[in-house]
Structure 1
Amino acid sequence: MSIPLAVVAGASGFVGQHVVEALRRQGSEVRTIGRGSVADATWDDPGAIEQVLAGADLLVNLAGRSVSCRYGRRNADEILRSRIGTTAALGRALANVGSPDLLWINASTGTIYRDARDRPMGEVDGDIGSGFSVEVARAWERELWDAPADVRRIALRMTIVLGAGGGAMSPLINLARIGFGGAMGDGGQKVSWVHVDDVVGAILHLHRHPEISGPVNVVAPDVVTNAELMAQVRGSMGRRVGLPEPRWLLEAGARIIRTEAELVLKSRWVAADVLHESGYEFSHPTLASALAEIAGRAPRGLLPVALG
């Protein structure tokens, strides 16, 4: 199923850039919505958003402030507003445009599920968790489901996205290279991850399957523990050993670099049941495959990391 016209909101981010590039590579016209002057429409211009969406076959909304920051009141408000406000704006625009054949894929997060070490969380049987991150995810998805637009909708519950040049990979590479690439906390927390190529692949797959709607988990089948993740990251970087980081050190370090230790201490065990049952085949089904591709493209030295 071809995609003649696609719209990507949040196109300047790590995942957004990959989505735009893949769509253009397959021949799609891509329009963007964002905050910068290079976007085809900005969030403060509802009329322009409607014009951009007119006639579109696919809308992918990836807009939202990074959660890699301290959850103080100002940052918390911005995290929530940047997700709820953009999703609401798109819902209003789609209601006015009227695009019944359009697929609206809205970013969400696998963090919506509870801390889990006992079993994987699927779209049907997963237990919703509690806490700030979960409440943000629930509000984000609620805005999608309640939008007054007559279109097919999918909440893309992405797990930790790995890829060269961005995502969650650069901090892990830096830790390995400076000798702090050991287990974090007790190392037993599950890490659900996905290569950015498979985020793109999942989006294209979902467009080809009109029977799918609702929440969709985007996670590679090879879920590992944090200790296993760090061991494989070290191996991919040619480092045999790495100092472990106990909880107290992680919490102290998180305050210094203005982020939250929860991002690495919560056990995220997520299963891609919908993608699996619909026949999606991962480009990088194993962590070893993903890390080999990333290591082959990672430049030497410490990599730039945006602090919260």
Structure 2
Amino acid sequence: MRSSDIIRSIIILLLFSIIYSSIIVSDTILDMNKEWAKYRCNPLFMPFASAFGHSNIDNFKYCVSKISNNNMPDLMGPTKLNIDLLGKMGGNLNTNITSSNGFVSMFRDNIMNSFGSIYGILMGVIAEFYKLSVSMKDVLGKTIGVTRTLVYTLEGSITTMESANDTAFMRSLRKISKLKGKSKGCFSGDTKIKLNTGDYKRIDEIEINDTLEYDTHVLATMKITNITPGTSDMISSVYMIPNGDNDDILVTGSHLIYDNVLGKFVCVRDYRDSIKTKRCLDVVYCLITDNHTIPIGEYIFHDWEDTPNKSKDIVR
């Protein structure tokens, strides 16, 4: 048998195989086209929608819309743009694949031209896959950018909240919340307090900017009820502390007084020289000073902001 006969036999077998394969593919395409709704969003068939008589771009948009349900349209805008690009690339790829149908007729005419067409198709497919990889890289980069933007936005929000939490307003709110429900100590209105001039004033007559002894400046004065609203019950019991010629001091038991023996502030009710009385003070008075102390006679009391670690060193 001559070599030319062998070549012709091979060519005939190839042609038969191609024709047979084309028939099988055509039947498969017809079957799938009947059930297109079932397969149209399958990733394996989406790029070849035009082969089933449907637009690649329209089919791709339908599937994307079905999957995403129109969630986050603004955030997914860049991704949608790239998806459209992928759809166009799929259309180009499908066009190249469709153009390969002409390869059968060209193969019958000229084997060399057929090989040239195959080479061109392969190069076209490679080029499209390269474009696809570049587009996917771009989509990934934009997704990372959006994610970073969200992270930076969250970090900025957290920083803003932390900054707002550290403002004077928030500190005041926290301070007020700590004071809520806390029983503050106060004095009877006729309690006499010595000024830096040597004169005495009742505490209910003390004014803002008065200067007490030991150069203690008055920042605020307060008049406070000692009766629980809606009842006749006192909020704080009244204690008496002897004060020599300056009259006894009537003060609520929750007020803080400096104990020279212990070297710290203690509640009046726990002070060794205090005596609990049955006196009822409907209204009590207190001060806020620059050093958070109120000197009365031989005693040092804390002011309204009775947190011991706020007061300055006791100097007598």
TM-score (norm 1): 0.22
**Which structure has the larger Rg?**
2
Q: Which has the higher contact order (CA 8 A, sep 6+)?
A: 1
